[in-house]
Amino acid sequence: MAWKVTAADSAIVLIDHGIGFANLFRSHTVAENVNGVVALARIARIYGVPLIVTSGPDNSPVGPLYPQLAAVLGDHPVVLRSGAFDAFEEEAFTRAIEATGRQRLVMAGLMTEGCLLHTALGAVEQGYEVRAVLDASACVTTETHELAVRRMTQAGVIPTSWLSVAAEYQVTWANAETADGFRDLVGGHSPTFAMQGAMQANIERHAAS
């Protein structure tokens, strides 16, 4: 197993990030979850990574996608499911994944112990290598989130974060084509890194004066 993913060998999968779940999970705040999933969608755009978004119909309990996510996606297609917790149980989703030609999947979803867990396990069973982006996923309680993560890791799923994924894709600041996108991403979604960048800019400004 290769421990690092690249933009050339992976696809990003977003599962059920709908407003109907926002009232249910407590393992993370809504703001944290929105921040993480929007960051992942932006990562797919910055690095040209295939992006598969799946959810239920807007009139289902999941509801429409987070408005912030929908704004980033624009007219990007959403693979609608009829209710399967393991998205691989539905042909349209399986076809969409196969069409990417990628065997390494970077997944996030709601709820962690529901559709993310079952879809990740389904992917492993079908021979895919899976990363679960845990700060773009959430669960009813912290305990159930952690239990689902434990079950996934026991099956071979690798836990990660959106920033780890972005850093693996970027590799180095020397990759100038995507460096500005990476900088904007981190500055917009990680306040601590944004402050660090501002501090460094301040130091350089005073050093030059």
Mean pLDDT by 10 residues, the chain (209 residues): 87 97 91 97 98 91 93 97 95 98 98 97 98 97 96 98 97 94 91 65 65
Give the pLDDT of residue 1: 63
Name the β-bridge partners of 52.
Answer: 13
**Residue 47 and residue 178 in contact, taking contact as beta carbons nearer than 8 Å:** yes
> Measured between alpha carbons, how far is 135 from 190 in angstroms, rounded to an integer?
12
pLDDT reported for residue 207: 67
Interatomic CA distance for residues 33 and 39, integer angstroms? 10
d(CA 209, CA 207): 6
Active-site entry in 115, 116, 148, 186: 115
Instruction: Quote the pLDDT of residue 104.
Output: 98
139 catalytically annotated: no
pTM of the model: 0.91
> What local confidence, expressed as pLDDT, does residue 200 receive?
63
Burial (CB count <10 Å: 0-12, 13-18, 19+), residue 76: middle
CB 92 within 8 A of CB 86: no
- Top CATH class of 10-170 equals alpha beta
